[in-house]
Structures are given as structure tokens and as C-alpha cells.
Amino acid sequence: MQTNRAAPESAESRKVLKQVFGFDGFRPGQEAAIEALLAGRGVLSVMPTGAGKSLCFQVPALMLDGLTLVVSPLVALMRDQVAALRLSGVAAEAINSAQDRTQNVAVWRRVAAGETQILYLAPERLMTARMLAALGKLPVRLIAIDEAHCISQWGPAFRPEYEALAQLRDLFPGVPIAALTATADAATRHDILDKLFGGQADSIVLGFDRPNIRLAVEEKRDWKRQLLGFLERHAGESGIVYCLSRKKTEQTAAFLTEHGFKALPYHAGMDRDAREANQNAFMTEASVVVVATIAFGMGIDKPDVRFVFHADLPGSVEAYYQEIGRAGRDGAPAKAHMLYGLDDIRMRRMFIAQEDAGEDRKRREHKRLDALIGYCESPECRRRALLAYFGEDTETCGNCDICIDPPEVTDGTREGQQALATVHKTGQRFGAAHIVDVLRGSHNEKILKAGHDRLPTFGLGAKSGKQDWHALIRQLVSAGFLRLDIQGFGGLGLTEKGAALLRGETGFRYRKPVARPTRGSRRGAKTDEHLPDLSAAQEALLGALKELRLRLAKERGVPAYVVFSDRSLTDMARRCPRTTADFAEVHGVGAAKLKDFAAPFLTAIEDAETARTTLERFALARAPD
């Protein structure tokens, strides 16, 4: 029976995809999520940033007869998604704190009248008794929770206001729920499934790889010089520079402005109007660099961000992954460059210690920081180390600083076996500090009480310092020989790969913690340009189309990509459509955009062709016989 219904539903969803959004086919994972929701099942969808998570709920929302609720944590995210949906002809609305009461009341009247298909709400506004009572009288058919990792106690981005969303399953029985995120390790996914779905939901995990982003980590020396050198190699490109403090954000933006860059600060301590103005400039103008704290991140959906530069160490691998995910959402080459040093590690440790949280939470955050430091010190492919943290195995990528310019490493097979043997002999439940103490022959109370001074590896590493052993263990973790139990007590355990090293079936090479000039800093090559395979005339047309897009976006007060993506404009430049029917075949042109934008873009294409023809005739007339 289900099989018989699947075909017509699939055909209908593809019809909506083409007519409304202008896309010819689904990306991996989208169709499976849509079919599950239409069948009334809950879905946890974990997809890389830029993989099209929103379509997983937007398409079924348009196929169901009723209202879809979308829980979104940020006003900026709501505003951009609502604007994009409206331009595609979808009756989408948002109720949020950025609108005055009169605006929100008007929105609610349209919702109550059945005129709205998709309503965006913040979690704290949705979960009020008054809102829930009002929504209970309406035909709610689907609920989507964006940035769903915020509900998990195991995640570093845990937000208390998300906790109440666990009640939705009981408050709206029979209504399918979609939980969407780009950042969720195994423990976080399990927690989301348990809280939102009682463990009963389809789980669609596509993986975490963003192969178009080149990864690089550099030891911090003269950070201003390092930042300036990097930006000089990326002049004319849009990007984000993350800083640890508000003060450094302001100072860095001023420093870059002095050196000729259009750099704008963004942090939570700024005046709201100034913050919004800087964000809007970044979203709509070219070559803007935003210097920001982590306040600038979730919900920033600008496709052509060409780089993310961390001037300071992020708080965890998850935070780092989320932040670099702002780059290269259009699929074109982008760079993620991070500086880190001992002061960064000290500051991060201090922040965790000062956090108003229980010891259990602090312990997990320290272990997350350990994992990030291990990534920074990785002696092999960074992408491999990054994906290993999320439970994925991959081949070396060829698109990170270590693959491109390998560091000097030394054979650490013997030391690695000593560390692994100690982990094994102590029961695979102790953290790195205890393992190092055993290896160095410490006679502290914990070791003596456990009898670990009688182990065969006790004192074998006494000649090496604690820093050396900790670096080695972090690299064993990042290389996949050891696993770190973040959900538990931070204990180290052997993986299959680690067991093979212990048996002598494989070797281990690692980078000792000795500061050295990063050869990557000498690389002056600019990021590979993502230039389409266009003729000179088509390139000129593409430039004209981008200018038109920016003008139309400013007239509507929306980001430029909401009008059309770069991919759509490139397709236009290549096709050079002359008629409305031709324009309908361009990537990303749905029925509403065909109606609203065909005329100005077709005129621009015709004008460009006329100008080109005139120039060619003029050149021909002036040519000597």
C-alpha cells in the first residue's frame, strides 16, 4: 500500500520543486525526508551546510493542506527564509521580536484566516501557553525544528529555550516533526531522537564533508601580520573573520579598514541598528569582510562567502565546523584558515572554568576542547581528522594545508604503542592526564590506589615531558587510534585502528609540539577562482546580471542571493534566454520568479547582446582592409 502511494507523492513533490523553486531534481537525502514526512513519520535530518535542508520541510509544507510551523532560533534566519519563500510565491510569515506588535498582530490574523502556509517562530514564543492554545485551534500539519542540535544537552550549542520543544510530540499528536541540523555527532543525534521523537523517527545522516573548503591551521605568531597577509591574497572577496572578544572585534575591523579593506564589526554588544546595518551590508554588497564574535553565525546564509578566518581558537570541533560552514555554500572553492596558540588554549580553559554550569558540563567542554587541539596538531590530513570526530572515515583529501604542504613528522610507533598499552591496561576508562602520569612514573594517590604503579608501562616515558605526551595522545585521537568518550567521563579507548597499532600491524607518525614557521604562510596563491566555463562575452553578461540582481535586491530589502543564486546567473549567462519560455528553463526559476523577474533579466540580456553586436560592428568598420 505504501509503495503504491510513494510514486504519485514523489511525482507531486518533484512538480512542486520545479514549479515553485525552479530546481530540476532533489539533492541526496531530500526526497527521503520529504516522503517520510508526507507519510506522517518524524525525521531527523543531518546534512552539511548548504545541502538544502530547508527544502526537506518546505516542499511537504506546500503539499499538505494546512499550516506548517518552523522553529528557528534567530530573527535574521527567519527574515531571510521568509523573504526567499515569498519571492518564490509561497505564503510565508514570521512572528518575532524584530517586528512591532501591530505587525505581529497582522501576521497572526492572516495565519488564523488560513492565508499562511508556513509560519516561522522562535522556540520561546512558540512554547507560550497563549500561542500553543491559539495554534491548537488551527490545522497544523507539519512542524520543522531548524538548528535542532540546540536541544541536546550533549551539544556545545545547547540552548535552554529549546528544551520545551520536547513537549511538541504530545501537544500535537499525529503531526510529523522534522528536526534539521548540520552539526550533530552520534551522542547529540541520539539525544535529539530521544527528546523529540521518543526514539521513533527516520534518521537521515548524509555526512559532514564539505570538500570545496580548503582547511588550514597556522600557529599564531604575529596574528595581525598573518591576518593581513591572508586577506591580501583574498582581496575583493567576501569573508568572515572570527575573534574571541568584542574588543578585539572592534580593533580588528578598524585595523583592516586602515589597510584598505571594507571591514565591518559585528558583536552582541553593538547597537542593534548598527549590527543589522553591518549584516545587511555583508549580505547585499560585494567584497565586505565582517569581523565578528560567534554572535555572527547561525542563520547567515550568504552563498558566496569565500573564506572564514579564525583569529582565535574556537571553543570546540562542533563550533569550528559550524563556523567554517558559512564559507562556500555555493559549492565554489573556499578557505577556512585558523590561528591558534597557547594563549588561546589558556583562555578557552578559563572560559570553561568560569562558565555557570555543572561540573559534568564543564568536563565535557574540556574534552571537546582537547579534541579541537588534537585537530590543530594533527600530523595527517585535516579533513580526515575532522570527519573522524563525527564518526566518518575518509581518504586523504588533497585540499588541506597538511596534504598540500606536509609538516615534518617523526616515527612515534613505539611511544604510541606505550600509550595505547597503558590505555588498555588501565581499563579504557581514564583520561589523558592519568595515562600521562602512568607513563611518566608519577606516584600520586590516584595511581597508587588503582595499583597502576605495577603496570609494565609505568615510568616508560619518564624522559619525555608532559607536553610531549599530551600532544602525542591528542594526535592518536585525531588520527583515529584512540576514541574520546565525551558523553561519559572523557575516558580514552582503543579503536580497531589502535588495536592494530598495538599488535604491530601498522605504524604511527606524529608531529612533536615544537613551534616552527608554517610553510603555508608563504603560499601566495589566491583561492582558486570559481569561474564558470564562459566566453568573454558571457563573463561580461554575468557581471551585468549581478549588478541587476543587486539593484533588485536593494529595492526589495533582501539579500542578493534571495533574488537569484550565482549558479542561476551563471546558467542565464550561458543560456542567454531570449523568451519567457527560455527563461523558465534557467536553474532556480520557479513560477513566481518567472513572473517577477523574467522581464528585467531578459531586457538586460538583450541590452548586453545589442551592445556586444554594436561594438563588434564598430571594430569591424575600423579594421584596415
- In whole angstroms, how far apart are CA 127 and each of 135, 138, 153, 171? 10, 15, 19, 10
Cell numbers at 148, concatenated: 535542532
Can you say how many angstroms the Cα of residue 485 is from the centroid of all Cα atoms in its chain?
23
DSSP-derived secondary structure letter, 259: T
CATH number of domain containing 558 = 1.10.150.80
Pair 230, 134 in one domain: no
Q: Which residues contact 191 (CB under 8 A, 6 or more apart)?
A: 151, 152, 153, 154, 155
Residue 526: inside a domain, yes or no?
no
Query: What is the C-alpha to C-alpha distance for residues 604 and 598, in angstroms, rounded to an integer?
Result: 10
- In a 3-state reduction of DSSP, which class is residue 225? helix
**String of DSSP letters for 394-410:** ----S-BHHHHSPPP-E
Residue that terminates a domain, selected from 187, 205, 223: 205
Q: What are the pLDDT digits (tens) for 417-471?
A: 999 999 999 999 898 889 999 999 999 999 999 999 999 999 999 999 888 898 8
Residue 609: inside a domain, yes or no?
yes
Average pLDDT, whole number, for the chain?
A: 86
Residue that terminates a domain, selected from 173, 205, 237: 205
Q: Which of 5-9, 273-277, 381-385 has the highest mean pLDDT?
A: 381-385
Residue 105: inside a domain, yes or no?
yes
DSSP-derived secondary structure letter, 19: I
CATH number of domain containing 198 = 3.40.50.300
Q: What is the pLDDT of residue 386?
A: 92
Pair 218, 171 in one domain: no
Region of residue 576 (left: phi > 0; alpha: psi -120 to 50; beta: else): left
Q: What is the pLDDT of residue 618?
A: 52
pLDDT tier at 489 (50, 70, 90 boundaries)?
Answer: low
Pair 76, 111 in one domain: yes
Pair 54, 180 in one domain: yes
Pair 586, 459 in one domain: no
Residue 529: inside a domain, yes or no?
no
Q: Please, are residues 193 and 203 in contact by the beta-carbon 8 Å criterion?
A: yes
Pair 120, 219 in one domain: no
Q: What is the pLDDT of residue 299?
A: 55
Tell me: pLDDT of 4 over 70. Answer: no
CATH number of domain containing 486 = 1.10.10.10
Residue 187: inside a domain, yes or no?
yes
Pair 282, 188 in one domain: no
Residue 283: inside a domain, yes or no?
yes
Q: H or E segment at 234? A: none
Pair 24, 72 in one domain: yes
Query: Count of domains in the chain?
Result: 4
Tell me: pLDDT of 192 over 80. Answer: yes
Q: What is the pLDDT of residue 622?
A: 54
Residue that terminates a domain, selected from 360, 376, 400: 400
Q: What are the pLDDT digits (tens) for 228-257?
A: 999 999 999 999 999 999 999 999 999 999
Residue 440: inside a domain, yes or no?
yes
Count Cβ neighbours within 10 Å for each residue of 204-224 and write b for 16 or more, e otherwise: bbbbbebebbbbbbbbbeebe
Tell me: pLDDT of 537 over 90. Answer: no
Q: Please, are residues 423 and 493 in contact by the beta-carbon 8 Å criterion?
A: yes
Q: Please, are residues 191 and 158 in contact by the beta-carbon 8 Å criterion?
A: no
Q: H or E segment at 291? A: strand 288-292
**String of DSSP letters for 64-114:** SSSEEEEE-S-HHHHHHHHHHHHHTT--EEEE-TTS-HHHHHHHHHHHHTT
Q: What are the pLDDT digits (tens) for 297-308?
A: 655 667 889 999
> What is the residue range of 41's domain?
2-205
Pair 330, 447 in one domain: no
Pair 389, 421 in one domain: no
Query: What is the C-alpha to C-alpha distance for residues 559 and 571, in angstroms, rounded to an integer?
Result: 20
Pair 609, 489 in one domain: no
pLDDT tier at 515 (50, 70, 90 boundaries)?
Answer: very low
Handedness of CA 537, 560, 292, 338 (dihedral sign): negative
Q: What are the pLDDT digits (tens) for 203-232?
A: 998 878 889 999 999 888 899 999 999 999
Pair 395, 415 in one domain: no
What integer is the mean pLDDT of 371-384? 88
Residue 491: inside a domain, yes or no?
yes
Query: What is the C-alpha to C-alpha distance for residues 95 and 111, in angstroms, rounded to an integer?
Result: 10
- In whole angstroms, how far apart are CA 530 and each of 230, 236, 308, 474? 18, 14, 17, 36
